[in-house]
Structure 1
Amino acid sequence: MPSLGSIRRSFTPWEDAGAKPYISFKNVTKRFGDFTAVDNLSLDVYEREFFSLLGPSGCGKTTLLRMLAGFEEPTEGELYLDGQPLKGVPPHKRPVNMMFQSYALFPHMNVADNIAFGLRQDGMEKSAREERVAQMLKLVKLEEFARRKPHQLSGGQRQRVALARSVAKRPKLLILDEPLGALDKKLREETQFELMDLQQQLGLTFMIVTHDQEEAMTMSDRIAVMDKGIIAQTGTPAEIYEAPNSRYVADFIGSVNILEGKVVSSGDGHVEIDGPDGKFVGAVRSHAPADGATAWFAIRPEKMRVSREKPDGVDNAIKGEVWDIGYLGDMTIVNIRLESGKVVQAAMINQSRIVDDPIGYDEHIWLSFSADAGVVLDR
């Protein structure tokens, strides 16, 4: 299947059969007693990639990164960085730095000393160390805060100090475990783009753990969605969002409507599904379910159109009743109760400031969507 897009369109080493992975997990399993945190997982990440591990709490994301950093050893399987096996290599000898959600800054040290700490531990000569610290302060725009203590900084500033300290030693790989979790929404959104710019400037490979879907979608070249110690799907943000391979992935990334039914017929990359609310046609991204099999059609709320009259010349139209309305400023979210009793969601962009004759509660309306607006799933 051709790529549905990525943040950097020209950067797609995973599509090159000859490209060598920078990080490789090969059949890695990690058990804690009777609990399997990571289950026979294989994954390749490429140099200079901004790669996100996304999933609910307890799915194995952080355990995967801790094995890469050297804080945990795999129970089974092999782990490679830049072609070199990491088994038995202690954390301080790996060209890897890990930035934690708590930032773990030294409260008794000022900003400059916090950034210089790792360089001093490595025995870097004083003048070179001071030059490197100055470079890092400039990079994260904190030159005027060099003599302040962590408690004198805002949450966003402390986050940037931790980031500067993490990259000061010029690691080959920077691991970030929920790095923006302590920031408020607006600052988190601003910092996402700062992280992307910083990663590009330094030319590093970033692996980030997050449970925030928007964060992963914004920053990543690729995303691996995890579930109970396995990878459910790996792809670019657009591939994960527009072409999920299962109901789990579709439901985990953003809002989605999932319509269930039996396959009536298939052909030319589409299937006809007969469900409780009538027949409709959906697109198949991989292989078509067999006739008579249960299938699910996943469609995002913004792909659904709402109208009072049944539209002409569309692939699919379903009748329903307006159940709830949520005005969000840039868009209006409408929950529609179908004749079967199922409630689905449509998103209407508010393109003008004044809306004449808006859709209201309890109105009987039509939902329409094209066959290619969603994807048919068989699991």
Structure 2
Amino acid sequence: MAKKPLGPVRRAFAPWENPEQQPFIEFRNVTKRFGSFVAVDQLSLKIYQREFHALLGGSGCGKTTLMRMLAGFETPTEGQIFLDGQEITRIPPHRRPVNMMFQSYALFPHLNVEKNIAFGLKQDNLPRSDIKRRVDEMLALVKLEAFAKRKPHQLSGGQRQRVALARSLAKRPKVLLLDEPLAALDKKLREETQIELMNLQEELRMTFLIVTHDQEEAMNLADRISVMNSGHILQVATPGEIYEQPVSRYVADFIGDINFFECKVTGCRPQNGGASITLHSEELGNEIKVKAGHPRMIGDAVTFAIRPEKMRISFEKPLDPSLNTIKGEVWDIAYLGDVSIYHIKVSQGHIVRTIVANTTRLVERPISWEDKVWLSFDAEAGVILSQ
């Protein structure tokens, strides 16, 4: 029986939870070296049919190299790559059933929209009637029928992006590779295009693999995310699991905003299949009560991590004894419209960030600079990290 997913998911789709399900794409112990530099190091990853998978990480982490090896533009130094049960490690790019959409779109400026879409089909020597039918299908799919005769310079950035997408899909690949495809779009258009991409992937029932450094983009689009750093995958999980249960400090810090506190384990007792753990934080000058999935040894040095939105702020100390409470002073406030970020200086001088949703139109905030306040949070609000 598949476990209940953590956090909201955009569709009931989790083949990775089924041990009998075979991966559609598999990297087995893949390494890629460029001289003495190791771009990808002994990496293994399974991606499933119809999955929208994101490779997420900073510049130089190896995500684009991994995608280029799947496309055939780079050859692994070591290891194997499989697609739909077939090893493709040494198969040239033009013989692989994958297509890649580049960040630059790489449209031909002298060809109109329909000829750009038809280009790859003509290279494959398809009959003219088949090419026309396929081009018409793609124009309808990306809603560009009225722009078929226009050239790229006569289109908006979003329209050029859709032409590049249609051209990538025209050859009906088994896998579509997306290399930072929305980086050139403004924020609002990028958000709209993300929804279009999700709907398109669901409609086509295809496997999409996207490379991005934008955490919000990965969280919005992907069924699962692989967080990468220095040629390694640090965690593969759904967006909800990545955000709520990061396995390391790097992952927790890379995805969203978070507070870290260095602590010592001072108490631990079993509770409901997990453990109730007490931590002492010198930075906070406080004890912290935490519910964790497994016990910890007394004296262990750990990092306690908690998202700013998981903390509440008030003038009065909460009366609920089950809550963790910290006294502090408002040091700074950042007003972002939908939310305000409060920087609270606690007794030991450490700055703690908390986020408050601005649910009313009042610009004046009841809590202001230099106010003495209390922060509070539940025992289940944060996570204990060892790495």
Task: Say which SS state the counterpart of residue 373 (structure 1) adopts.
Answer: coil
Deviation at residue 331 of structure 1 after TM alignment: 1.2
Take 1:135 and 1:82, find their aligned partners in 2: how far apart are those partners? 26
Q: Which residue of 2 aligns with 1:54?
A: 56
CA separation of 1:334 and 1:85: change in aligned 2, threshold 3 A:
same
Q: Which residue of 2 aligns with 1:89?
A: 91
Q: Does 1:378 align with 2:380?
A: no
Q: Which residue of 2 aligns with 1:294?
A: 301
Take 2:69 and 2:243, find their aligned partners in 1: how far apart are those partners? 28
Task: Say which SS state the counterpart of residue 163 (structure 1) adopts.
Answer: helix
8 Å CA contact retained: 1:7, 1:220: no
Gaps in structure 1 of 5+ consecutive residues: none
Q: Which residue of 2 aligns with 1:4?
A: 6
Q: Does 1:310 align with 2:312?
A: no
- Cα shift readout 1:210-269 (whole Å, capped 9, x = no counterpart): 000000000110000001000110100000000001111000000011121100012222
Q: Which residue of 2 aligns with 1:336?
A: 344
Q: Which residue of 2 aligns with 1:239?
A: 241
Take 2:336 and 2:364, find their aligned partners in 1: how far apart are those partners? 17
8 Å CA contact retained: 1:289, 1:378: no
With 228-237 and 258-267 compared, the bigger mean Cα shift is at: 258-267
| Counterpart amino acid of residue 335 in structure 1 | H
| Counterpart amino acid of residue 338 in structure 1 | V
Take 1:301 and 1:63, find their aligned partners in 2: how far apart are those partners? 34
CA separation of 1:361 and 1:6: change in aligned 2, threshold 3 A:
closer
Deviation at residue 320 of structure 1 after TM alignment: 1.2
Take 1:255 and 1:135, find their aligned partners in 2: how far apart are those partners? 43
Take 2:118 and 2:189, find their aligned partners in 1: how far apart are those partners? 26
CA separation of 1:355 and 1:184: change in aligned 2, threshold 3 A:
closer
| Counterpart amino acid of residue 373 in structure 1 | A
8 Å CA contact retained: 1:335, 1:344: yes
TM alignment of 1:38-117, pairs within 5 A: 38-117=40-119
- Cα shift readout 1:5-61 (whole Å, capped 9, x = no counterpart): 463442000000100000000111111110000010010000000000000100000
Q: Does 1:32 align with 2:14?
A: no
Instruction: Give RMSD over aligned pairs.
Output: 1.2
Aligned mate of 2:140, from 120, 138, 141: 138
8 Å CA contact retained: 1:289, 1:295: no
Take 1:234 and 1:181, find their aligned partners in 2: how far apart are those partners? 23
Gaps in structure 2 of 5+ consecutive residues: none
| Counterpart amino acid of residue 354 in structure 1 | L
Q: Which 4+ runs in 1 deviate beyond 2 A? A: 5-9, 267-270, 354-357
Take 2:218 and 2:8, find their aligned partners in 1: how far apart are those partners? 12
- Cα shift readout 1:288-340 (whole Å, capped 9, x = no counterpart): 33210111111111110000111111420011111111111211111111212
Percent of residue pairs bearing the same amino acid type: 60
TM-score by length of 1: 0.97
Q: Kindly tell me the number of residue pairs found equivalent between the two proteins.
A: 378
Deviation at residue 355 of structure 1 after TM alignment: 6.3
Q: Which residue of 1 aligns with 2:372?
A: 364
